[in-house]
Structure 1
């Protein structure tokens, strides 16, 4: 089970990137974000399934947010048929009830033949593997959303030889680091923001122009000695006085989900 994953933007319900990924022979995943399984979601899933072709596989990403209300029944409202791949996010792999998560996973099993769970450290990876999932999406701190303190390549070093199921790496993936990640043991890589400038991207030309000018950095300001916050700065901008970056003068976009390989 080796392929790369093309993941759509969480905040745009558009399967274009996922469809292109499938037709390229990889796995295209439609991120449903925090949406409910409304009619618009169902129609976009049908679009992905009908246009994916036969070279690759399609799937959806569902964020449970550790809420009972976002269980398998909620997702089933949008799925007209089982999804070949289901990426589950938001599971409480550290403090949650193992029995409750196991019951929840059994429900999701009815909706997909292959379940991948997002994790962000060795501890959560082991917990997810113990639940009997088919694979892991390991998120380095370069990725957006829920992440841990480790970078993607530190995670790869920690996981090697300790996890028996396939895992994909997300965060900080570029032309050179993608093959390196696979050589380090990953089954493939996850591409999201790296694809925002493509023809299949749902963003307008003006948005793409802005994305192309952004440079990923980390704020190591002494004001936050225990945290290094990722942000973007427009190329050529100057950081605000006394800040590690991202102040008003630097036009930083704190909390952006974008990754460094986008700005190249």
Structure 2
């Protein structure tokens, strides 16, 4: 058996959307990566493409076998591929027969090939390794096609930290130059590209699918029966039955006919146009990602970004470039805020929907408790106007050093800035970021949907890659001086911090200040209980939890919380309302 990781394995390119595009896979191999031919359904086109791969790249290529591929291990011989990627089923969706069949395929293939198993959760990863897989592809929830609950950022961390995972892991989902550097800095063997390749010169993708990819920004997808697909409207859009299961949806995936197929594109679909416009072909794209990874690992820019005395530390006036994010009914007490400030971070009180009197009391107590150290408030830009007006009157009177506005507008931030309160705006999309930059805003929070409480639609890797591309374009013209950016969602330890530092390294090198904003991580601290931010039972529930759940209260409004009887009742009510057509 050959080595589990080779130099060309840093960048793996899988032909997108289940299409057997031999020319594209061969181009990835020639560029120094590992080209993987998706064999799709295993039809005549797939077999012809496989024959072409054998002739042009004997032994030096890979294939992907998905759930609906009709080829079996014997069809790959003789002169089979070096690597076989076994496609994932959505986490928790398939029955035991599907899972068992996948594991049997892994075992059979592993006798003659290196097998990399796509996985969407830790349980599936351990099963795949037990069946003989030589490596894992962490397929995050931002991917197109079959997915699980966890984003690439969180799933990768979970797999790399698991004692039972000793084989190499690749990251798939939201991968561009910045997140590729982050994944490898965090311990990944490399990264996987798929839809990013779809508009490059060597790609055979044409027609409506290619035209659609040109228009995406990452917000246009939905999840159907465990598969992320493009949301299409109109009379000619394919519509799975309301009770369609994973098999039904998987059978509809494809890029050839938008009238009958669902395009399995993810939140990172916008990267196809970005890659095409910036690099044009596979060779330059693969080289750019490889260079981004190597630059981040060789240079000490990333390691300097989060040290004591870093640009963000100096900008905040704190010892560390770290903020404790505002958490409703958690970070609203002076003793906890003072503990955070004394330990070198920037605390934020969550004002939530507190009235003017309650806000004034909280602020006065906290101002006295922090004793001259920096501190801040978290404001809801979408709170009722009378509530927000009363809160802001108290804020201007008692003068915290900083503020964060969630769901806010540039005018709200600029009003506080004029009063000497340095204000950060949550920015959940690249379109809004461009508008805010044009309006003069320079302090931002980029919070992935991994965070607790109210969440945006985009997972961290997809969001951060999009936002950093906007800042890269902006700073090339205007410079990066004055830019201050907090990254949030899934950040909690050395590995996650190192990943953020690596992905932000080019921005740091241009002069921007970069920091970390953490909320959930503070729930695990002794001080959170000792100072009354949370009760011991609350913390025990958090420590014991193995997953979270999203409760959607309106389109685009979701809250991440722990599974509980309340959450179960909420979902039951949601199902009842949907059944009634409400």
Common fold by TM > 0.5: yes
Partner of 2:184: 182
Q: Is the 8 A contact 2:22 2:49 kept in 1?
A: yes
Partner of 2:152: 152
Of 24, 27, 44, 2:31 maps to 24
Separation in structure 2 between the aligned mates of residue 204 and residue 21 of structure 1, nearest angstrom: 19
After superposition, the Cα gap between the structure-2 partners of 1:53 and 1:176, relative to the gap in structure 1 and judged at 3 Å, is farther
Q: Is the 8 A contact 1:31 1:60 kept in 2?
A: yes
Separation in structure 2 between the aligned mates of residue 99 and residue 210 of structure 1, nearest angstrom: 36
Q: Deviations over 1:138-175 (max 9, x none)?
A: 11011122100111101122122212101111111112
After superposition, the Cα gap between the structure-2 partners of 1:53 and 1:89, relative to the gap in structure 1 and judged at 3 Å, is closer
Shift of 1:84: 0.5
Q: Is the 8 A contact 1:143 1:170 kept in 2?
A: yes
Q: Deviations over 1:96-124 (max 9, x none)?
A: 378766554343235x4201111101121
After superposition, the Cα gap between the structure-2 partners of 1:217 and 1:116, relative to the gap in structure 1 and judged at 3 Å, is same
Of 167, 170, 175, 1:168 maps to 170
User: Is residue 256 of structure 2 the alignment partner of residue 258 of structure 1?
Assistant: no
Of 55, 58, 63, 1:60 maps to 63
Of 180, 200, 203, 1:201 maps to 203
User: Is residue 86 of structure 2 the alignment partner of residue 88 of structure 1?
Assistant: yes
Whichever structure has more helix as a proportion of its residues is 2
Separation in structure 2 between the aligned mates of residue 91 and residue 215 of structure 1, nearest angstrom: 26
Shift of 1:177: 0.7
Range moving further from structure 2, 81-90 or 44-53? 44-53
Partner of 1:143: 143
Of 42, 49, 52, 1:44 maps to 49
SS of the counterpart of 1:10?
helix
Structure number, greater radius of gyration: 2
Partner of 1:109: 110
Consecutive unaligned residues in structure 2, runs of 5 or more = 238-257, 275-582
Q: Is the 8 A contact 1:230 1:255 kept in 2?
A: no
TM-score, normalised to structure 2, is 0.36
Partner of 1:76: 74
Separation in structure 2 between the aligned mates of residue 80 and residue 63 of structure 1, nearest angstrom: 21
Shift of 1:9: 2.3
SS of the counterpart of 2:157?
helix
Shift of 1:77: 2.9
Separation in structure 2 between the aligned mates of residue 228 and residue 104 of structure 1, nearest angstrom: 21
SS of the counterpart of 1:160?
helix
Of 5, 19, 32, 1:12 maps to 19
Separation in structure 1 between the aligned mates of residue 180 and residue 160 of structure 2, nearest angstrom: 16
Shift of 1:35: 2.8
Please report the RMSD computed on the Cα atoms of aligned residues, expressed in angstroms.
3.7
Separation in structure 2 between the aligned mates of residue 102 and residue 138 of structure 1, nearest angstrom: 17
Q: Is the 8 A contact 1:6 1:27 kept in 2?
A: yes
Consecutive unaligned residues in structure 1, runs of 5 or more = 234-245
After superposition, the Cα gap between the structure-2 partners of 1:130 and 1:92, relative to the gap in structure 1 and judged at 3 Å, is farther
TM-score, normalised to structure 1, is 0.74
